[in-house]
Amino acid sequence: MSLATRIISGDRRALARALTLVEDGAATSERILAELHAYGGNAHLVGVTGAPGVGKSTLVSVLAQSLRARGDTVGVLAVDPTSPFSSGAILGDRIRMRDLAGDDGIYIRSMATRGALGGLAHATAAVVDVLDAAGFDHVIVETVGVGQAGVEIAANVHTTIVLMSPGSGDDIQAIKAGILEIADILVINKADLPGAEQARSYLHSTLMMGQSAAARGDSAQVDQADGRSLGWQVPLLTTVAISAEGVDALLETLLRHQDYLESSAELDRRQRKRMRAIVESLLRNRLYTRFVHQVSQKRFNALLQAIVSRETDPYSGAARLMEEFD
């Protein structure tokens, strides 16, 4: 029985093995992914992002429990940064997810970014696809989203939850970094802390400004990061994840967004966009690999030297290489 077949039949060991092969970029991983592709496309993909320390893992844990309470199965992918110095990583998100252990309707996997910039690893999309094919109703990807890293996760999932906490200056940072534009659901966690109400009302008025601009047809506001549809009003929720306060409302909102995606053209648009990004990335890598095999290292280095010594420029150099490329 192939690994893919075993995964479809619920074999968690096969799933764990396959995820490692995919992460490691093993030669066999593409065949596994190809075989699994037909079984995917059913899971609701959710991204949870926010600055370090806002309570993402805790929130993911209570959210997963709420989903389980309705009988849904959940796959959780927790992504943590690889150290740029040692290439190692501490993957500590399971600490906050202790309550999820021992339930075979939940699967948690930790993953390091392994040198990828931003909050996701290169293999994250593929790992998500495997979890989708394995049959989980929801796949939650949790990652640190600071600045542009948040945009990356939004492109990889169907529903993006952006988490903030009061008083840390997140609200200003969020607006600067454009985080608000990628959120389908905005959540202020640790809402019991001082500053929560100010943060909430500040963010609320910012959201209202964005939405009324859109309603006015102000093209600068409407033309957001991925031209998202105006049919969904981004809600602002407050939670205290550690006591599960506000999580029922979050669950209800999440499911409402899922319904919205399915009943509008949005889901299709996001699936398409996601698949496009995956295919383009594959093509880019293969084309470059083929190129590298055609141009000798010596030739490339000679050209590089000519560019560094200003005999030629990078643009002419690249054009010359492209002319020779078959």
Binding site for another protein (CB under 8 A): 12-13, 15-17, 19-20, 23-24, 82-83, 85-92, 94-95, 98, 101-102, 107-110, 112, 114
Closest distance of CB 28 from another protein, Å: 14
Which pair of structure tokens corresponds to residue 270?
A: 């996001």
Task: Spell out the residues 6+ positions from residue 141 whose beta carbon is closer than 8 angstroms to its own.
Answer: 45, 46, 47, 48, 77, 79, 120, 124, 128, 153, 156, 157
Residue 258, SS3 per DSSP? helix
Q: What values do phi and psi take at 289, rounded to 5? A: -60, -45
Dihedral of the alpha carbons of 137, 77, 176, 244, in degrees to the nearest 10 = 70
- Report d(CA 185, CA 119) in Å as an integer: 19
Closest distance of CB 2 from another protein, Å: 17
- Report d(CA 296, CA 274) in Å as an integer: 34
**HSE on the CB side for 279, CA within 13 Å?**
7
Q: What values do phi and psi take at 160, rounded to 5? A: -110, 125
* Closer of 37 and 114 to another protein (Cβ): 114
Work out whether the CA dihedral 186, 192, 193, 195 comes out positive or negative: positive
* Closer of 56 and 274 to another protein (Cβ): 56
Which pair of structure tokens corresponds to residue 98?
A: 């202790």
Closest distance of CB 176 from another protein, Å: 31
Closest distance of CB 75 from another protein, Å: 10
Closest distance of CB 314 from another protein, Å: 31
Give the Å distances, CA to CA, from 182 to 147, 179, 191: 11, 6, 22
* Closer of 23 and 184 to another protein (Cβ): 23
* Closer of 142 and 171 to another protein (Cβ): 142
* Closer of 17 and 269 to another protein (Cβ): 17
| Maximum alpha-carbon separation in the chain | 68
> Amino acid identity of 88?
G
* Closer of 101 and 322 to another protein (Cβ): 101
Residue with structure tokens 């490339």? Answer: 300
Q: CA end-to-end span of the chain, whole Å?
A: 40
* Closer of 41 and 52 to another protein (Cβ): 52
Closest distance of CB 84 from another protein, Å: 12
Closest distance of CB 108 from another protein, Å: 6
Closest distance of CB 164 from another protein, Å: 25
* Closer of 71 and 88 to another protein (Cβ): 88
